[in-house]
Structure 1
Amino acid sequence: MSERLPGFSTLAVHAGAQPDPTTGARATPIYQTTSFVFNDADHAASLFGLQAFGNIYTRIGNPTNAVLEERVAALEGGTAALAVASGHAAQVVVLQQLLQPGDEFIAARKLYGGSINQFSHAFKSFGWNVVWADPDDVASFERAVTPRTKAIFIESIANPAGSITDIEAISTVARKAGVPLIVDNTLASPYLIRPIDHGADIVVHSLTKFLGGHGNSIGGIIVDAGTFDWSTGGKYPMLSEPRPEYHGIRLQETFGNFAFAIACRVLGLRDLGPALSPFNAFMILTGIETLPLRMQKHCDNAKAVAEFLASHPAVSSVNYAGLASDKYNQLARKYAPKGAGAVFTFSLKGGYDSGVNLVSKLQLFSHLANVGDTRSLVIHPASTTHSQLDDAAKIKSGAGPDVVRLSIGIEDKEDLIADLEQALNA
């Protein structure tokens, strides 16, 4: 009899975890320690020289974090993963392995406002230059490619509008350009979309959102698909050239299809230092165990709320790919057949002031800057998460002055609709 591959829900509970060998504890323990004892001098030397795997210092790796990394890698279909302190930290660590000063990366214009700000401003300090492309126009990615291009970055489901990105089409552009495709899969989670199945080479998440799911812990993760040849054309010396800090090891040669995850750990996390707390790793692991149950409820509720809003006279438009009338509905059917996610936007006829007023009148929805919580959340992006952008850029990113963003939780949908109705009527 052939060995059965575990299903998604089984992996969400069990991947990476075993009963603790010392105590028999079934839940993954929190290894709340800074460092780990070596067996002897030779063992220590082999760990520091990348000749053996093991624990050295929690800034570089920790057994609790290792379970989280293996679990998310299994759920995404990757070869290895690295957990870090936040989603933003994941983006810094990824691009540090790929870009030298003066290099470029192409990014979809429809992104989380914090990522737009990070790419446009903070990364300039490193000499990394972003070139923007339109995710609705795949040819714009092709036009943006130059000899300095080292990566393409997109979101599977774009924040805040909830639009679906054509991953396969943009992957084709990346392959032609000889650069890796990085996909932020935060809003979809691997329950809805597995970008590696559609051509992604690297997947990143804010673990803070749907994977953790309870609004109690910040974290990020990098998943290596193991699909990219880092030696091609000498574009990626961090992986293909001898590393002087590790006695001349070439990471691609030594570690093969998980070399990128190793590079992120031993060249990025080690030196930049955005380590994830083992306690946060434990909390996020606990959240992942219920990911399939939560995500389906999130999506079912979101569709019901979107249908209600689409029929309300105060609402001028609803951007939710799960609606049959939405421009992204066909892409949603292709990439996310179980549901189009739980984050979407709608526009009010009264413009900016109506958006601000609506947020203040909602009672069950929490007004805060997060998504992916069990609780339903609301924000007016133009006055908050996207406020640093001018009006033209806000509109291009899907966060115009009249736009309100919802993150639909797992409450009873009737209560969510009632809260929106009283606020809209007021």
Structure 2
Amino acid sequence: MTTLVWLRDDLRLADHPALTAAAQDPDGLIVLYVLEDASEHVRPLGAAARWWLHHSLVSLRNSLERHGIELVLRRGVAETVVPAVARESGADRVLWNRRYSGARAHDANIKAALREAGVEAHSTPGDLLFEPWRIANGEGNPYRVYSAFWRACTSGLPPAAPLDPPETLTAAAASVDGDALESWGLLPHAPDWSRGIAERWTPGESAARDKLTAFLADGTQHYARRDFPAERTGSELSPHLRWGEISPRQVWHEALRAGGDVGLFLSELGWREFAKHTAYHFGPLESRSLDPRFEGFPWRTVVADELRAWQQGRTGFGIVDAGMQELWQTGFMHNRVRMVVASLLTKNLRFDWRIGEAWFWDTLVDADEASNPFNWQWVAGCGADAAPYFRVFNPDLQQKKFDPESRYVDRWAPYSAGLPRILDLKTSRAEALQAYQSITR
């Protein structure tokens, strides 16, 4: 039997259920990645994510070549491409790890088309600790509150143990043509804005493993100070998890094996899980508010100069400007600061949360179709287990509490103190609360 393995957000060899199953086939396997940037079923990637994808595919291609396997690249709609590659290669079976977004209906159509053509098609567990249909409340409904959700997750059987990478992989006899990665144009054209991202990050499975090992060896003892952005005490695994260069099962089990106080760290993995379960049951999250009242919320008409000041880190609020500069220069922003900049946009400026979500989608290397809108909705007050709308992050107080010596601000936005502020915090907060009252009457 010859098996075609269709990759998506699972660019690794270890703990890859579909690849492990395919490795047993005597007639060998073919590995395929499809760039679906023009499919109505898949959200087109932002610029920073495209940069990461390019380098992650290079890393994966090199890993596969060491096993004598070619990574076949095709651009197009998977519903057309996957059956076509199966025909060209003479594959008897197609395997993939599941997606849990709205694209799962798309995957079901592909599975049905393959089976109708006489090709076996199976999906295996994907990038979650727990399958979404297995976690439900007493009434059989999905959870809307994180604490109850995470208790349900952690009170039953633990996540499955991760799979070792296959020791050997055998290439199928058939040769299949693919695209040259460079022809996809994933990297920026001149001017090249990615230098800071390249200095901060190394995409790929090996780098992901190294980052986890280093964090578990030393970082967990400092994790309680993860809210202090100048200290970089977080794991910084989010882009590696987003692209599936490491699985949440690997992170979970290795953290427990390392010992120490890892409960807080694993709860952050649980928050990622909660976002993806919410997207599975209620998505797509980027297009509408989970709280339907907010579809009638009186968002302000966007003022171009104000939005541009927020995007460019020129608001006059130090911690906000520093966060937006860190984002622009490195494709990443500290989690505490993400909440502060999102609050300023959605509550003080009172611009629709979708505007900020779209900016993050384009500029974050870890932009995830579940977590990114889920977190924006949480800050805006319209999502699952959302922060109350009246919780408005005061950027001055946040900076005083979490960057008291201005080390973070001085690194990323030392100019900010000399800028005029684009709004008055007290007035804008009062106006936001009044707007909120209009949808709660």
TM-score normalised per structure 1: 0.27
Which protein has the bigger strand share? 1
TM-score normalised per structure 2: 0.26
